[in-house]
Amino acid sequence: MTLFPENKRQEERTCLAGVSESKPCPGNCRDFYRESNWNDSGEQACFAFEKLEKFLEGVNSFSVGATAFQQAPADILENFSTRSEIGFDLVRYFLSISSPDQVMSTILEMDDSLLYRIVKEDFKIFQKLKKEKKVFGTESNFLDSKAAQFWNGLPPERISKFILFCLRTKKDNIFAARFLGLMPIETLLMLGESLGLNKEEEAELYRGLEDSLYEFPIRFPGIYPHLIELFSEDPEINIILSTMEGLVERKESLLRAREEVLKIIEEAHKKNSHQEVLNYLNTLDKDAALEILGMLEEQNHIGFSEKSLLSAYIKGEESDFITFGRRPQVFRVK
């Protein structure tokens, strides 16, 4: 005798893709529903909402809940997250633990209002952990934290759209400005035009950087002339920016030198490629050479031990002879 025949019948229901409510969603569900125009079918075709509900109730397994989140159409997730606070927390949780590849399609389609709510909550928690000194190293920046890792894989167009939402809809230029550094210089230079911002709106966006505004052209030297023009009528900011020309020019020269070093490293067939790197760096001033090595290590083009030995040679502290190997990360000390 079946104790719960009604529940059993409900669990045996299958979605348009032929998957029951108690089974994980296959990896191609999102594409399947998009191609089948399921919204026009006049019937319930996707059970992601029910799967997530049953996960909260402890009926469905973790894999069922996680795959339902990863494959659900964006409007289902938005509906689920607005029904209750715990529903919102579940969507935010699955977003934070999924890999960037798993949530790329979801983020591309997600409504900006839900994305803003999620990211603001994550940022609040991050700030709390940072204040409690539970955040260290590279994760001291919010966008480097695990909860925000998906941002680094998003196309500039999606990030720009979110920035516009923060700026115009939420009037939150400080939060909007946090995402400027994720985009290439070509996008930044055209951002005002592509988003339809007037000069004052774009200036307000960059003011959201606060004190970091004066670090930004050092990170992105190509933006410097644009910022000078953008703040031409703001005496306080313009005066400070105008004193930075030398620093910006130096950073541009360092970036060009780094590209030269990368060209040498990429020629892996040359036995003495690392010796050539050292020879090239010795043509630069010592501080510039050491800074370039730091940039290369930070971007994982060279290893820590390799950087240390090259630095020692440049500073004249290494007396041993280095025989550089053919692989960029390998050398021998005799």
List the chain pLDDT tens, one digit each, 334 residues. Answer: 344 445 544 456 888 888 888 999 988 887 777 776 655 554 567 889 999 999 999 999 999 999 999 998 888 999 999 999 999 999 999 998 888 888 898 999 999 999 999 999 999 998 888 888 776 555 568 888 888 889 988 999 999 999 999 999 999 999 999 999 999 999 999 999 999 999 999 999 999 999 999 999 999 999 999 999 999 999 999 999 999 999 999 999 999 999 999 888 777 555 667 788 888 898 999 999 999 999 988 888 888 888 888 888 888 875 444 444 434 443 333 3
Would you say residue 322 lies in a domain? no
Question: 14 by DSSP, 3-state: which?
Answer: strand
Q: Which domain holds residue 23?
A: 14-130
Q: Please measure the distance between the N-terminal and C-terminal CA atoms of the chain and give it in whole angstroms.
A: 80
Torsion-angle region of residue 119: left (phi > 0), alpha (psi -120 to 50) or beta? alpha
Two tokens at 113? 């209002």
Which among 90, 109, 130 is the end of a domain?
130
Closest CA to 105 of 150, 165, 146: 150
pLDDT value of position 210: 94
Give 177's DSSP letter.
H
Would you say residue 332 lies in a domain? no
Would you say residue 286 lies in a domain? yes
Would you say residue 192 lies in a domain? no
Would you say residue 38 lies in a domain? yes
Two tokens at 327? 């692989």
Return contacts of 87-93, CB within 8 angstroms, 24+ apart: 87/52, 87/56, 88/117, 88/118, 90/52, 90/55, 90/56, 90/65, 91/118, 92/118, 92/121, 92/122
Alpha-carbon span 310 to 286, nearest angstrom: 12
Query: What amino acid occupies position 183?
Result: M
Question: 220 by DSSP, 3-state: which?
Answer: coil
Which among 73, 106, 130 is the end of a domain?
130
Question: Between the CA of residue 18 and those of 26, 45, 102, what are the distances in Å?
Answer: 10, 10, 21
Q: Which helix (H) or strand (E) holds 199?
A: helix 199-207
Query: Burial letters for 39-49: b for 16+ Cβ neighbours within 10 Å, e otherwise?
Result: eeeeeebbbbb
- Any residues with CB less than 8 A from the CB of 123 and at least 6 apart, and which? 142, 175
Which among 87, 112, 130 is the end of a domain?
130
Would you say residue 198 lies in a domain? no
Domain count, the chain: 2
Would you say residue 117 lies in a domain? yes
Supply the Cα-derived Rg of the chain in whole angstroms. Answer: 26
pTM, rounded to two decimals:
0.81
Alpha-carbon span 187 to 97, nearest angstrom: 29
Would you say residue 145 lies in a domain? no
